[in-house]
Amino acid sequence: MAKTTFTLAEAANLLSCHKETLRRAIKDGTLRAARLGRGYRISRSDLEAFWTAQGGGALFGDGESPADMPPAERPAPSKAKKPEGPRQLTLPTS
């Protein structure tokens, strides 16, 4: 079951940013959030809309977030090809 609301700390963790960054976005109106007691709750759709407006890609994909999935169902991390170092330049001899 996919999580539908996030606390400020959960949203900041998900976006890899500081909670104060999200507080400022809420105050200036770029991120919609509901005030609940002393904290905020941010809906999944509002968080994704904010993320894409900031230039981010798909935040949750087409299903659940990998963090919400049980460890056995999480996708394996892709292994990127190690970049090659610079090639040696050889000058032609005359």
**Cα–Cα distance, 17 to 19 (Å, whole number):** 7
Per-residue pLDDT tens over the stretch 42-79: 999 999 999 988 888 888 775 554 455 555 555 555 55
**Cα–Cα distance, 31 to 54 (Å, whole number):** 10
Amino acid at 58: A
pTM check: above 0.75: no
Q: What is the pLDDT of residue 87?
A: 67
Higher pLDDT, 2 or 46: 46
> Is 60 strand, coil or helix?
coil
CATH placement of domain 5-58 = 1.10.1660.10
**Cα–Cα distance, 52 to 50 (Å, whole number):** 6
Indicate the domain borders of the chain: 5-58
- Cβ neighbourhood burial of 31 (10 Å; 0-12, 13-18, 19+): buried
